A and B are shown apart, each in its own frame.
Chain A
Amino acid sequence: MTLPRDPKPFPGSGLLHPVMLGAVVLLILNDHVFKERWPSWWTGKLSDVAGLAMFPVLLQALWEQAVSRRARAFRPSRAVLVGAVLLTGLCFGATKVSVEAGNMWSWALGGLQWPFHVLRAWLGGTRIPGVLPTRHTVDVTDLFTLPALLVALGLGWRRSAHETPAQPG
């Protein structure tokens, strides 16, 4: 399979795909606008779909940015891609079927958000808040959104296929 018109990949370039950009925008809009204005089953699922489509590529991009010092020698790794997809799927699945895993995720996200809450409190001159868990719904029906991982897998696979024509044999 040759994809001569695909731009040459570079570290993190997977996130520049229009579908990924759309997923990031959708995730942010849904979390901060749609859910507040139209809280419903659909907006809950929309975040899962956008997140699952985007998150493996985000993990892959983080990996690529961390390990790929020399862009000229860069090559997208399908191993990393598949690993990111599997990791995302397993963690997502665990948080949707296990209350304990869901709580861990809520507290982990709350911990990551905490420095920003501290900064806001500090700038506003208010009391420094404690770490609070984020909202997380343990809902098995969210597993129906898992196929969204195929978006990340498909786009990532195609991105790494950019290399295929030049491979000997």
Chain B
Amino acid sequence: MNGTTQSPSLETSSPTPAPRPRLLHWAARLVLIAACAGTVATSELMSDSVFSPEFVGEPVTLTTEAPQTTRDIVVRVSSTEKHSDVVEANVRASLVARWTPADPNEKTRPWIRVSLLEGEESSESRTVQTFPPASDTQEYEEFGSLDTNCELTGPCEWLTHVRFEMQPDGPRGTVRFEWKTMADAAVRGMDEVPAGFNVSISAP
């Protein structure tokens, strides 16, 4: 092979070779990194997302005395075709929060916070803090990705908690949340949605 049979010809034939432009060396390293990245960062086929019907939760009311509560929802993904491919699911909650102060002359607003939690996960993981709303009504959305370690070999199910909080030591009053959730799911590694692929969201 070449590596073992060639003589050290470069050094003998050109004892003072022109210095290789550094730019070329760096270009080679750059392409090397790009090629490594291109090899490792292979794309994943992903089926189109399938959305669940909307789940409208019962309105939630928080008070200064009871500033926190949680509602559970269950996201289910099933398919009549069994696959070892991984399901990727998301859930989003759309909320309208209305603040009613105990004292009509109260001008300050409490902060409110809604978190989508999966399983027993701590509240630090997915929390969006909202600051005192400028008006008495505030609309927003909370989005969360669910654990993706679920294969379509059977139905996938995620228990998700929607946690509602208001400032416990803030101005006295109530916050009423109207909320609805929707889930979507797709299958990693598939370019088409498998037969009988269904996503639903409901109360437990």
Complex CA gap A10/B189 in Å reads 39
> B4: which A residues are within 8 A, CB to CB?
79
Do the beta carbons of B24 and A13 come within 8 Å of each other? Answer: yes
Q: Which of B34-42, B67-75, B105-113, B166-174 contacts A (4 or more CB under 8 A)?
A: B34-42
Q: Does B17 reach chain A (CB closer than 8 Å)?
A: yes
CA distance A36 to B189 in the complex (A): 11
Interface string of B26-50 (1 = CB under 8 A from A): 0111011011111111111110000
Task: Decide: A132 near B86, CB < 8 A? Known: A12-B28, A12-B29, A71-B25.
Answer: yes
- Shortest beta-carbon distance from B185 to chain A in Å: 15
Which chain B positions have C-beta within 8 A of A81? 2
Q: What does DSSP make chain A's interface, helix, strand, loop or mixed?
A: helix
Partner of B42, one of A21, A31, A39, A160: A31
**With A10-B20, A39-B191 known to touch, is A163 a contact of B10 (CB < 8 Å)?**
yes
| Interface residue tally on B, bucketed by range | 35 or more
CA distance A51 to B86 in the complex (A): 25
A-B pair count, CB < 8 Å, reads 136
Please tell me the number of chain A residues within 8 Å of chain B, measured between CB atoms: 54
| B2 smallest CB distance to A (angstroms) | 3
Interface members, chain A 118-169 (any B CB < 8 Å): 126-127, 129-130, 132-135, 160, 163, 166-168
Residue of B at shortest CB range from A14?
A: B28
The residue from B2, B13, B121 contacting A76, defined by CB atoms under 8 A apart: B2
Is the pair B28, A10 in contact by a Cβ cutoff of 8 Å?
yes
Residues in B neighbouring A13, C-beta threshold 8 A: 24, 28
With A13-B24, A32-B43, A36-B43 known as contacts, the answer to whether A77 contacts B2 (CB < 8 A) is yes
Q: Is A78 a contact partner of B34 (Cβ separation < 8 A)?
A: no
Which residue of the partner chain, among B13, B31, B85, B126, contacts A16 with CB atoms under 8 Å?
A: B31
- Chain B residues engaging chain A, CB cutoff 8 angstroms: 1-4, 6-13, 17, 20, 24-25, 27-29, 31-32, 34-46, 85-86, 121, 125-126, 145, 148-149, 188-189, 191
Q: A72-B17, A163-B2 are in contact. List 8 more A-B contacts (CB 8 A).
A: A8-B20, A12-B31, A16-B31, A28-B41, A31-B38, A32-B43, A109-B42, A135-B44
